[in-house]
């Protein structure tokens, strides 16, 4: 059997999937987890609830070469922080208490049926997290490619 025939046999669909699947899967998992870590570090928490970093999650679906890694913010306010918001009125279902100064600890000073929110500047922390992770993602994929080439070479011997 010639070297070309050995290479063709090693690259047959099922065999290639078996050889390449594990390094690709590991690279995608590592990249997604590192991106989540960086996004959590970049995320600015909501000033009242403090929620944001804990709501950044990784979801890995598929196996082998079909692996897909997704990093997303599941917090309800993530889209407002990332995209920003114009000033707007906030209306409650009934009468809302007004608080003096910052926080509830200073006491209630009155009631209102609506308040005017001043808006918030956009904070594209996901973009910063991905850009900061890009060299590491490339290194994970490069290592996966090297492992695949090495494993294919072993199957061709």
pTM of the model: 0.68
Strand extents, DSSP E, the chain: 56-61, 68-73, 88-99, 108-117
Q: If you average pLDDT over every residue of the chain, what do you get?
A: 79
- Give per-residue pLDDT as tens, 120-135: 888 888 888 889 999 9
Q: Domains of the chain: which residue ranges?
A: 3-84+121-156, 86-119
């Amino acid at each position: 059997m010639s070297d070309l025939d050995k290479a063709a046999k090693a690259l047959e669909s099922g065999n290639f999937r078996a050889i390449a699947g594990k390094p690709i899967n590991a690279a995608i998992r590592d990249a997604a987890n590192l991106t989540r870590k960086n996004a959590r570090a970049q995320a600015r928490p909501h000033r009242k609830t403090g929620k944001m970093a804990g709501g950044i999650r990784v979801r890995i679906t598929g196996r082998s070469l079909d692996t897909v890694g997704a990093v997303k913010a599941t917090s309800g306010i993530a889209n407002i922080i990332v995209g920003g918001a114009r000033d707007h009125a906030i209306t409650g279902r009934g009468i809302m208490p007004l608080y003096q100064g910052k926080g509830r600890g200073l006491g209630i000073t009155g009631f209102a049926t609506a308040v005017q929110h001043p808006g918030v500047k956009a904070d594209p922390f996901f973009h910063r997290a991905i850009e900061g992770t890009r060299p590491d993602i490339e290194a994970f994929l490069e290592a996966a490619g090297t492992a695949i080439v090495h494993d294919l070479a072993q199957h061709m011997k």
